[in-house]
Structure 1
Amino acid sequence: MSKTKLTPMLEQYLRIKEDYPDALLFFRMGDFYELFFEDAETAARVLQITLTSRNPNAETKVPMAGVPHHATEEYLRQLLEQGYKVAICDQVEDPRQAKGLVKREVTRVLTPGTVVEDSTLSAKTSNYLAAVCWHGGSKTGAAAWIDFSTGQWTGVQSKHQVQLWQWLIKIQPQEVLMPEGTELPEQAQVLRDKIQFCPYNGYFEPGRARERLLQAQDVASLTPLDLEDKPALVQACGALLAYLHTTQRCEDLSHLGQFQPIQPNRFLQLDEVTERNLELFQRLDGGKGPGTLWHALDRTLTPMGGRLLQQRLRQPWRDLRTITAHQGVVALLVDDDGLRQSLRERLDAVYDLERLTTRIFLGRCTPKDFIALRNSLKALPALQSLLEEDRQWPELLGQEKRAWDNLDDVRELLERSLVDAPPLVITEGGLFRHGFDPELDELLDLSEDGEGRLQELLHKEQQASSLPKLKLGYNRVFGYYFELSKAHKGPVPDHFIRRQTLVNAERYITEELKTIEDKVFSAAEKRKGLEYNLFQNLREQVAAHRERVMAVAGILARLDYWQGLAHAARQWEWSQPELHSGLDLRIIGGRHPAVEATQGRTDYIPNDVRIEGDDRVLLITGPNMAGKSTVLRQTAIICILAQIGSFVPAREGWIGLCDRIFTRVGASDNLAQGQSTFMVEMTETARILRQASRNSLVILDEIGRGTSTFDGLALAWAVVEDLVQRGHGGVRTLFATHYHELTDLEGQLPGVRNYNIAVKEWRGDIVFLRRLVPGPADRSYGIEVSQLAGVPQGVVKRAKAILAQLEEKSRGLRHTPEKGSHRQQSLLPGLFDPPEKPQPEPTAPQDQGPHPLEEALQELDLNGMTPLDALNLLSRWKHEWTPPHDSQDTPGTSSS
C-alpha cells in the first residue's frame, strides 16, 4: 500500500474503517456497497462474489468486491449467520449538492444478536443478545438477555455460576458479552464462539450501568424493575444497553419493554441437559423437525404465538392456579371445534406485529412492512367479534376481551395513505394514494397532465407539419425528443432543433417541448421528495402507537398459544390432566408424543406409570430396544405439558406438580474438555443428587454403564439408596437399569418397586411387547437383540455358547470355593487357572523401604492433572497393586 497513492475516497474509507476494525465495512458508492482490502477478500470468499481491483494498473492493487444496494439483505443474512459483524457506511449528503468528496458515516452496525430484519431471523425463535458477569469475591453474578427485534428482555441473578451458564445454554444467544479479563468457566466452552469481551468501564461499570438502565426504562429508581437488590443484574443490563448504543447508533432505546427479572421459584426448572435429553426442540443428533416435541406440539399460526410457546416450554409454571386457568381456556377450544377453527382462520392473516412495530419505531421499515401491518390490523375486528359472542368465557379470555383494542385509527390511517402495491424503495415515489395529501395531489395532477400535454404536442406537430411518422422519445441523457426516420425526404420544420444524429434517424427538440419537459421533471422530483417526507411522517405517526400495537400483539400471541395447544390435543387425541400439589403421579395410557407423531397412533403401545403412596423409586429392567427410555422420557414430557396448561398424551393423568425435572440418559463424551463418557455421566448424576428435592422428578437411564461392572453396580446401588432416603420419603424417580442385582432392593429399601418392559420368547426369537408391567425382568436378552440388529450368525452362536459357560461357571463359584482360598477361578472359558507358585520359606522381616505406590503418590503433580488423567492413573494402579479377590466374595455376574 505504501507504493500506491490512495485516492481521497480510499483515504476516507480507511479513516472510517479504523473505528470498526472487527466489522466488515459496507461502503456506499452510488448504487453499490463496496468493500476493500481484507474485507473485500473475506466477503468474496464467504459470499462467493467476484473479487476485483480498484486500481488494476497500479503496482499494488487494492482488492475490491461489491453488492448492489437494493439486494444487500440476502448477502447480509449470509454474513450474519456465519457470525460476522457488518458496519453499514452510507452517504449522508446528496451527491448532487456535495462539494468535493461526498460525506459518509456508519449509520448502523449489524451483529448476529441485534438484527431486526425478517430475512435474517427465524419467525418463531427469539434472537438473543446476552451479557453475563461474575464476581468471584462475593460469589454472585448475573446474566441478562434481550431480543432486540421485539424489545423483550429479562435476566437472572444467582450465587451459582453454573446456573447462569445453564440459562444461557438453554436460550442459545447469538452473542454473549463478558468483561475483559474474565476467565471462562468450563460450562461456557460450548458458547465460546459467541462470546465477546468488552471493556469493563465502558460496559459493566456499576454507576454507568445504573444510569443507562434508568434512562432506557424512564424510571427514577430501580425499585419498579425489581432490581434494587440485584447489582450484578444491573451491570449485565447496562452492558446490553451500552452495546446497543454502540452498534445501533442511536440514543433512544425507549422501544424496549419493561425489564422483568426471572423468579426461578415461579417456574418448573429444566436445565439444558434435560432439554437436550428430552429432545424438546432438537433431536440428540442435532437435527430438528420429526422426532422432537416441538414438531408434534407446535400448531401456532403467528410468529408471536410460536415464540410464546417456545418460552413456555422452557419455563413451565409451578403455580397450580395459573396452570388450571390456562388449562380452562385450552379445554374450551378443544371442545368447541367451530370456535377454534374460526380463531385459526383469523389468526392466519396476522403477521409478526412485534417485529413489524420494532422496525417501524427504529426507522428500518420498508413499505411492505406497513402493508403487512395494515393487513394484520384488518383481522382484528373479526377476532373481536368472536370474543363478543354470548357464551360463558373463562376468566383469562374475559381479561383479553376487556383489554381488546382494534387499533381502528391506525388501520384507517394506513388504508387511506398507502397504495396496495407500493414499490420496494421509498425514494422513487409511487407510495401514496391520490387524495391523501393535497400538495401531493397537485404534483400528481401536474405529472399526469404533463404526460398528456406531451402527447398533445406530438399530435399537434404531426398535424401542423404533415409528419405522421413523427415519434416522441425519451432517454436519461437528452430527456424528451422528437424523432424522424432517415426515410423522411421532406423539409423539417424551422423550429425543430437538431439534437442527435443516428444511423437511421434524426432527433430534435423544440422550445415548447423543453418547457413541458421542465414542468414534468420538476413535478416528478418534487413528488419524490414529498413522498419521502410523507413516508417518514407516517412512520412517526405509527411508531407513536407502538405500545398499543405491542399490547394487541401480546393478546394475539396468547390466543394463538391456547388454540395451538387445543388443536394439537384434538389432532392427537390427548386428554385433560388433573393437577395437584401433592407428590403422587399417575399416568394411565401414556404415550410419547414425538414417537407417536413419527410412527403413527396405531403402532404405539401406551403404558401406565404410577408413583403413588410410599412408592417413590421405580426400578425398570428389560432388554435394549424394548422401550425403557421411551417410557422414561414420555413421563417427563407429560409432566412438562401438564404444567404449561396443555392436554397430555394419555388416557388419564393425575399429576403432582414438579419443581424441577432432571434427566440422565444416553452416552456421550466431551473430549475437548478431557471428559470421558463416564465422567460426563457422573457429572450429570452429581448435579441431580445435589439439586433434586422431594418435589422433583428424576429420570435416570443406565447409571454406571461407563465403567467396570462392579464399579457401575456399586454406584447405581448407592444412587438408588440416596434418592430413596432424601427429602423425607424419597425423590420421585424412574430408574432404568441392566443391573438385575438392583432388583433385590425391593423389600430391602422402602419406596423401591420393580417394573420391567415385557418381552416374549417365541421359537428362539424375542417379541417386544413394549408394556411396562410390575416385577423385575428375568434377563437382558442382549444376544437376541444383537441378532435383531444384524450381527452375523456365527458371532451370535458363539456368544450364546460363551454365555452358557459363564452362567455355569458363575453357579459353580457360589458353591465350590474353599473357605479362605485366595485362588480366583477363571470365568472365561478356554482360560486355565495359572499354576500355583511355590511358597517361599518364611524369613525374618526386613525393612524394605517405602512401598512403590507411596513413592508414586509423593511424586504426583495434582495441579497438572486433568480428571481423565486421574481416572486413567487410578485404573492402572488398581490393576498393578490390588490383590486378587477372594472368590467367595465375588458377586453374581451382572447382566449388563
Structure 2
Amino acid sequence: MTKRKLTPMLEQYLRFKEEHPGCLLFFRMGDFYELFFEDAEIVARAVQIALTSRNPNDENPIPMCGMPHHSVEPYLSQLLDKGYKIAICDQIEDPKEAKGLVKRDVTRVLTPGTVVEDSNLTSKANNYLGALYWGSSKEAGGIAWVDFSTGQWSGLHSRRELELWQWMAKINPRELLLPQGMKVPPQFSELSDQVTPVSTGTFFDMPSSVHRIQETQGTADLGSLGLKGKNELVLACGALLTYLDQTQKGEFGHIGEFKPLNLSKHLLLDEITERNLEIFRRLDGRPGKGTLWRVLDRTMTPMGGRLLEARLRQPWRQLSPIEKTLDCVSFFFERDQLRGDIRHALDSVYDLERLSTRIFLGRANPKDFIALRKSLSMLPTLQRHLKEQNLEKATELGRIIRKWDAMDDLSTLLDTALVDSPPPTIMEGGLFKKGFDAVLDDLIDLHEHGEDLLNELHQKELAANDIPKLKLGYNKVFGYYFDVSKAYKGQVPEHFIRRQTLVNSERYITPELKELEDRIISASDERKSLEYKLFQDLRAQLAKARSRFLFMADVVAALDYWQGLAEAARVNEWCRPELHEGMEIEIHAGRHPVVEDAMGASNYIPGDMKMDTDRRILLITGPNMAGKSTVLRQVAILTIMAQIGSFVPAKSARIGLADRVFSRVGASDNLAQGHSTFMVEMTETARILRQATKRSLVILDEIGRGTSTYDGLSLAWSVVEELSMRASGGIRTLFATHYHELTSLEGKIDGLRNLNIAVKEWKGDIVFLRRLVPGPADRSYGIEVARLAGVPRPVVERAREILAKLEEKSQDSNSRGAVEKASQTLLPGFGAPPIEIREELTEHPIITQLVDLDVDGMTPIQALMLLNQWKDMIKD
C-alpha cells in the first residue's frame, strides 16, 4: 500500500485491522458499517455491492464499500458461507457525547463455527466448532466439538489417531481447530476447507486448558466431567474455550455441561458407512431426496430435526432406550387424531434452544421475543392434548408430562409486554404495549397524542380567559405559542409571557405550554431510551430462565421426534420391529425405504431375509441391475432404523442388536489422494476386517472387482474365509458378488448360504423379478444387461460370439471342478497344510517392517517404492 497521510479515523481502522489479522473488519460509522482498502474489494466482489472510494479525486483513492447497519445480516451470512471471518467494530460511546474521535472496539468476531443468528444456520442441523489434538509421543489424542448456537459440547479420547479423524469426518464441523503445522490426512481431505490453524502454545496449553474448563464448568474436579487422565482431550477442550474467548470476547456463559461421548451406548456408523448407505447425503454429495434422512424427517421443529440427526448418527445399542422409544412411537402411531393435533401445535414452536442462546448472549432482536412468545403459548396446548390420553403404555411420555413446565409466568410476561408487530431493531421504540409501564405510558401518550394535549390546553385557556380569537400556533424559532389579536383591548393573563410582536398580533407563551412543549419534543427520545432499558430488563429476566427453556426444548424435541417417526410409519405403512439380544435377523416382506420413496410403493417388490446361526454369511449372486446392492443396503438401513426406535418398512421384522454396521458398496476412486478404485475398495475392506466384532453387521458389494479376475477371486475368497472364522463363529455378513466360483463354498464353510436375485428370460429378454431366492445364480446375464443399457446391437452380438467360444474352451478345463478341488486344499479344515515360517526368517528386517506396516496410510506410489526397497534388500 502506497504511503499516504491518513485521517485519525482510518488510523483507528488500521489499528483494529492489525489486531485481527485474517478477518474482514466491519467498521461502524453512524448508521453504516464501512470497509476500506483490500477488505472493501473482497466484500464488494463477494456480495456484489458497489465499490467506491473515500477520496475519489486523490492520486491514490482508498477503496471503500458499506451497508446500513440494520440490513447487514444478509451480507454477513453470505461471507460466512464463503468461509470468511468477520470482526465487528462497533461504536462504544454515543457520538453526541464524544470529544473528538468516537471510541470504538471490536465487540465480537464472527466465524463459521461460532454464529448464532438463524440466517447463518441450518435449522435442523447442528453447527459444530471442532478441535483435534494428537500427542504422538504418548500415542493418544482427543477431539472436542461444540455447537455454540445451542451450548452443547462433547468429546472423545482415543489411542488411535485414525479413529479420531473418522469421528471428526463424521461430525463434519463447520470450523476445525488444528495445531499449526498439523495436516489433515489425505483420506479425510474434505475437512481441509474447514481448518483454522492455531498456535499450540496459546490454544493447546495444559494449565490454561484446565483453568478454562474448571472456570466454565464451575468445578475443580475434571474427573466429574470424564476428563481425568485424558490430557489430550483436555487440550482439545481448552482449545475450543480459548477460541471462543477470543472471538466472543468472553461471552459464552451459556455453554452447558461437558459430556464425553460414550461409545458403548451407541451403534457405531463410520463416515464411510454413512456415505455408502446415503443416510444424510446421496453418493453425489447432495442432501435431500434420495437419503434416509429425507424419508424419516417428519419433525415439525428445529429441535426435533436435530434430535433425529443425532439419533441417526449415533443409534442406540442397548435394548432399554430403544424399547422406550418404540413405545412412544407406537402410542402416536395408533392415535391419528392426537398426532394431527400435536403436529399442528408443534408447527408454531420455534427454536427454543437457539432463541434462548441469543437472549442469554444479548443478541436477540424483537422478532426473536415474538417467536419465543408464540412458542411458549403452545406449551399448555401440547400439555392438554397429552393429559387427555392414557399414557400407561408410553412411560417416557408419562414421565415428561409429570415434569412438564408450561412456563405460564414467562408467557404471560411476554404477552403483557410486547406488541404483536415490533420494529426490527430495539432502538426505534414501539416495542411495548400500553399498560406495561406507567412512565412509558405517559411518554407514549405524549409522543402519539401530543397534539391532543396541546388542543386541550388551548381550550382550557379559552375557557379561563375571555380572549376572543385566541389561537395556538407553532414556528421553528419560538416553538408553540398563543396568538392574541391586537383588536383585543383587554389585559392578557399574568402568566402569559410575550415572545414576539407582529403588525396584527402579539405572541405569548405560558409556563404550562412551554413545559408541555418540552415534554412533547423530548418524549420520542425518552420513549426510545426507556424502551431500550425495559427491553434489557426483560432480556435479563428471560436469560435467568435459560435452564427452563433448555429443559422444555429437550421435551419438545423428544415429543417431536416420536410423533415424526410415527407419522413416517403411518404414511409409509411400516411395522414395529422386534429387537432382541440374539444374532438372528428375520425380515418378512422388507422394503428399502429410500428406493420405495423414489419408485412409489406400488412399484416396489418386497423381499424376505433371514440370518441366524446356520446363515451367518449370505452369498448373494445375480446380474447387474437385479437389485443385489438394494438388498444389502436394505438390511443395514432397517437395522439402523430399528435401533433409533423407528418402525421399519416390512410386514414383520426381528432384529438382533448390532454394535456396528459396516458397508463396502460400489466403486469409487480418490485420485487426488493417489488412491485408485481398487485401493479405495481394499482400504475400506481392511477397516472392516480390523474393526468388526461378533455383534457387527457387515455388507460387502463386489469385493475384488478392481483387479484381475484371479486376484479378485482370491481376495474375495479369503475375505469370506476370514469373516467366517472371526469372533468365534463368524460375523453376520451379506456378500454380493459376481464371482460364481464362490458359490461352491456353501457346505464347506459353516454358516455360509447361497442366495440369488431371481431373473427370468422371456423371448430373448430378461425380466428382473426382484426376489431373493435360495441357491446360486445360474449365470451373470452381463451381455443382456449391456443390451438393455443401450450398447449397440453389433457389439452385443459380437460379445455373444466371443462368450460362446470362451465357454467352449473352458469346458475342457472344468473350471468349476478346479474350484471344487482348490477348496479341498485351501479351505480351513479341508486338508490345507500349515504354512511354516522358518525361524531365521522371523528375524529378517523385511518381516519386522511388514509387521509394523501401516497399510491404510500408504499411497500406491509409497507401496511400490517400499516393494522396490525390499527387492534390493533381498538381492543384497
State if a TM-score over 0.5 links the two structures.
Answer: yes
Aligned counterparts of 2:389 and 2:331: Cα–Cα separation in 1: 14
Structure 1 pair 518–666 and aligned structure 2 pair: CA distance change class (3 A): same
Structure 1 pair 213–876 and aligned structure 2 pair: CA distance change class (3 A): closer
Aligned counterparts of 1:291 and 1:613: Cα–Cα separation in 2: 34
Structure 1 pair 567–497 and aligned structure 2 pair: CA distance change class (3 A): farther
Alignment of 1:145-164 (within 5 A): 145-164=145-164
Could you tell me which residue of structure 2 aligns to residue 298 of structure 1? 297
Aligned counterparts of 1:480 and 1:757: Cα–Cα separation in 2: 93
Secondary structure at the counterpart of residue 369 of structure 2:
helix
Moved more, 514-523 or 609-618: 514-523
Contact 1:627 1:757 in 2 (8 A): yes
CA-CA distance at 1:26 after TM superposition:
0.3
Aligned counterparts of 2:605 and 2:107: Cα–Cα separation in 1: 60
Structure 1 pair 4–402 and aligned structure 2 pair: CA distance change class (3 A): same
CA-CA distance at 1:523 after TM superposition:
1.5
Give the structure-2-normalised TM-score: 0.88
Aligned counterparts of 1:310 and 1:480: Cα–Cα separation in 2: 64
Could you tell me which residue of structure 2 aligns to residue 759 of structure 1? 759
Could you tell me which residue of structure 2 aligns to residue 286 of structure 1? 285
CA-CA distance at 1:544 after TM superposition:
0.2
Could you tell me which residue of structure 1 aligns to residue 839 of structure 2? none
Could you tell me which residue of structure 1 aligns to residue 311 of structure 2? 312
Gaps of 5+ in 1: 483-493, 500-507, 816-861, 878-896
Could you tell me which residue of structure 2 aligns to residue 436 of structure 1? 436
Secondary structure at the counterpart of residue 727 of structure 1:
helix
Contact 2:575 2:652 in 1 (8 A): yes
Alignment of 1:304-343 (within 5 A): 304-343=303-342
Could you tell me which residue of structure 1 aligns to residue 399 of structure 2? 399
One-letter amino acid of the counterpart of residue 325, structure 2 = H
Secondary structure at the counterpart of residue 123 of structure 1:
coil
Offset from partner CA, 1:844-894 (integer Å, 9 cap, x none): xxxxxxxxxxxxxxxxxx99x9732367789999xxxxxxxxxxxxxxxxx
Could you tell me which residue of structure 1 aligns to residue 59 of structure 2? 59
One-letter amino acid of the counterpart of residue 135, structure 1 = G
Aligned counterparts of 1:663 and 1:465: Cα–Cα separation in 2: 98
Q: Does 1:277 align with 2:276?
A: yes
Moved more, 42-51 or 178-187: 178-187
Contact 2:480 2:509 in 1 (8 A): no
Moved more, 558-567 or 513-522: 513-522
Moved more, 401-410 or 121-130: 401-410
Structure 1 pair 538–634 and aligned structure 2 pair: CA distance change class (3 A): same
Contact 2:670 2:680 in 1 (8 A): yes
Aligned counterparts of 1:413 and 1:689: Cα–Cα separation in 2: 60
Aligned counterparts of 1:75 and 1:187: Cα–Cα separation in 2: 34
CA-CA distance at 1:231 after TM superposition:
1.8
CA-CA distance at 1:180 after TM superposition:
2.1
Structure 1 pair 773–532 and aligned structure 2 pair: CA distance change class (3 A): same
Alignment of 1:812-851 (within 5 A): 812-814=812-814
Secondary structure at the counterpart of residue 5 of structure 2:
coil
Could you tell me which residue of structure 2 aligns to residue 123 of structure 1? 123
CA-CA distance at 1:432 after TM superposition:
0.9
One-letter amino acid of the counterpart of residue 422, structure 1 = P
Secondary structure at the counterpart of residue 769 of structure 1:
strand
One-letter amino acid of the counterpart of residue 576, structure 2 = Q
Contact 1:134 1:142 in 2 (8 A): yes
Give the structure-1-normalised TM-score: 0.86
Could you tell me which residue of structure 1 aligns to residue 378 of structure 2? 379
Alignment of 1:189-204 (within 5 A): 189-204=189-204
Aligned counterparts of 2:453 and 2:383: Cα–Cα separation in 1: 51
One-letter amino acid of the counterpart of residue 573, structure 1 = E
CA-CA distance at 1:584 after TM superposition:
0.9
One-letter amino acid of the counterpart of residue 362, structure 1 = L
CA-CA distance at 1:799 after TM superposition:
1.2
Could you tell me which residue of structure 1 aligns to residue 612 of structure 2? 612
Contact 1:299 1:564 in 2 (8 A): yes
Contact 1:179 1:199 in 2 (8 A): yes
Contact 1:723 1:731 in 2 (8 A): yes
Aligned-CA RMSD value:
2.9
Could you tell me which residue of structure 1 aligns to residue 96 of structure 2? 96
Contact 2:327 2:393 in 1 (8 A): no
Secondary structure at the counterpart of residue 412 of structure 1:
helix
Structure 1 pair 584–498 and aligned structure 2 pair: CA distance change class (3 A): farther
Aligned counterparts of 2:208 and 2:862: Cα–Cα separation in 1: 46
Secondary structure at the counterpart of residue 196 of structure 1:
strand
Could you tell me which residue of structure 2 aligns to residue 730 of structure 1? 730
Secondary structure at the counterpart of residue 735 of structure 1:
strand
Could you tell me which residue of structure 1 aligns to residue 538 of structure 2? 538
Aligned counterparts of 2:237 and 2:253: Cα–Cα separation in 1: 14
Offset from partner CA, 1:190-209 (integer Å, 9 cap, x none): 21111111112221111111
Secondary structure at the counterpart of residue 748 of structure 1:
coil
Could you tell me which residue of structure 2 aligns to residue 585 of structure 1? 585
Offset from partner CA, 1:785-829 (integer Å, 9 cap, x none): 1111111111111111111122122224449xxxxxxxxxxxxxx
Secondary structure at the counterpart of residue 149 of structure 1:
coil
Secondary structure at the counterpart of residue 662 of structure 1:
strand
Could you tell me which residue of structure 2 aligns to residue 74 of structure 1? 74
Secondary structure at the counterpart of residue 87 of structure 1:
strand
Secondary structure at the counterpart of residue 116 of structure 2:
coil
Could you tell me which residue of structure 1 aligns to residue 873 of structure 2? none
Secondary structure at the counterpart of residue 72 of structure 2:
helix
Structure 1 pair 872–481 and aligned structure 2 pair: CA distance change class (3 A): farther
Alignment of 1:3-14 (within 5 A): 3-14=3-14
One-letter amino acid of the counterpart of residue 779, structure 2 = R
Identical amino acids, percent of aligned pairs = 59
Q: Does 1:173 align with 2:173?
A: yes
Secondary structure at the counterpart of residue 557 of structure 1:
helix
Contact 1:480 1:509 in 2 (8 A): no
Aligned counterparts of 1:287 and 1:139: Cα–Cα separation in 2: 36
Aligned counterparts of 1:447 and 1:385: Cα–Cα separation in 2: 43
Aligned counterparts of 1:390 and 1:288: Cα–Cα separation in 2: 37
One-letter amino acid of the counterpart of residue 134, structure 1 = W
Offset from partner CA, 1:58-103 (integer Å, 9 cap, x none): 1111110111111111000000001100101011000000001111
Gaps of 5+ in 2: 482-496, 816-853, 870-876
CA-CA distance at 1:182 after TM superposition:
2.7
CA-CA distance at 1:137 after TM superposition:
1.4
One-letter amino acid of the counterpart of residue 223, structure 2 = T
Offset from partner CA, 1:830-857 (integer Å, 9 cap, x none): xxxxxxxxxxxxxxxxxxxxxxxxxxxx
Contact 2:480 2:517 in 1 (8 A): no
Structure 1 pair 651–390 and aligned structure 2 pair: CA distance change class (3 A): closer
Q: Does 1:109 align with 2:109?
A: yes
CA-CA distance at 1:53 after TM superposition:
0.5
Aligned counterparts of 2:309 and 2:767: Cα–Cα separation in 1: 38
Aligned counterparts of 1:422 and 1:618: Cα–Cα separation in 2: 64
Alignment of 1:740-889 (within 5 A): 740-814=740-814, 867-869=859-861
Could you tell me which residue of structure 1 aligns to residue 182 of structure 2? 182
One-letter amino acid of the counterpart of residue 809, structure 2 = K
CA-CA distance at 1:661 after TM superposition:
0.3
Contact 1:299 1:565 in 2 (8 A): yes
Moved more, 804-813 or 612-621: 804-813
Contact 1:481 1:509 in 2 (8 A): no
Structure 1 pair 227–717 and aligned structure 2 pair: CA distance change class (3 A): same
Aligned counterparts of 1:255 and 1:498: Cα–Cα separation in 2: 66
Alignment of 1:299-698 (within 5 A): 299-389=298-388, 391=390, 392-453=392-453, 517-698=517-698
Could you tell me which residue of structure 2 aligns to residue 836 of structure 1? none
Offset from partner CA, 1:189-233 (integer Å, 9 cap, x none): 221111111112221111111111111111221122122232221
Offset from partner CA, 1:103-159 (integer Å, 9 cap, x none): 111111000000000111000000000011011111111111000000011111111
Aligned counterparts of 1:686 and 1:498: Cα–Cα separation in 2: 102
Could you tell me which residue of structure 2 aligns to residue 881 of structure 1? none
Contact 1:40 1:64 in 2 (8 A): yes
Contact 1:458 1:472 in 2 (8 A): no
CA-CA distance at 1:243 after TM superposition:
0.6
CA-CA distance at 1:460 after TM superposition:
12
Contact 2:54 2:64 in 1 (8 A): yes
Contact 2:187 2:673 in 1 (8 A): no
Secondary structure at the counterpart of residue 269 of structure 1:
coil
Aligned counterparts of 1:76 and 1:112: Cα–Cα separation in 2: 10
Aligned counterparts of 2:87 and 2:349: Cα–Cα separation in 1: 33
Offset from partner CA, 1:705-735 (integer Å, 9 cap, x none): 1111111111001000100111111000000
Aligned counterparts of 1:411 and 1:805: Cα–Cα separation in 2: 83
One-letter amino acid of the counterpart of residue 758, structure 2 = A
How many residues get paired? 808
Offset from partner CA, 1:259-294 (integer Å, 9 cap, x none): 110110110000000000000011001122111101
Contact 2:673 2:859 in 1 (8 A): no
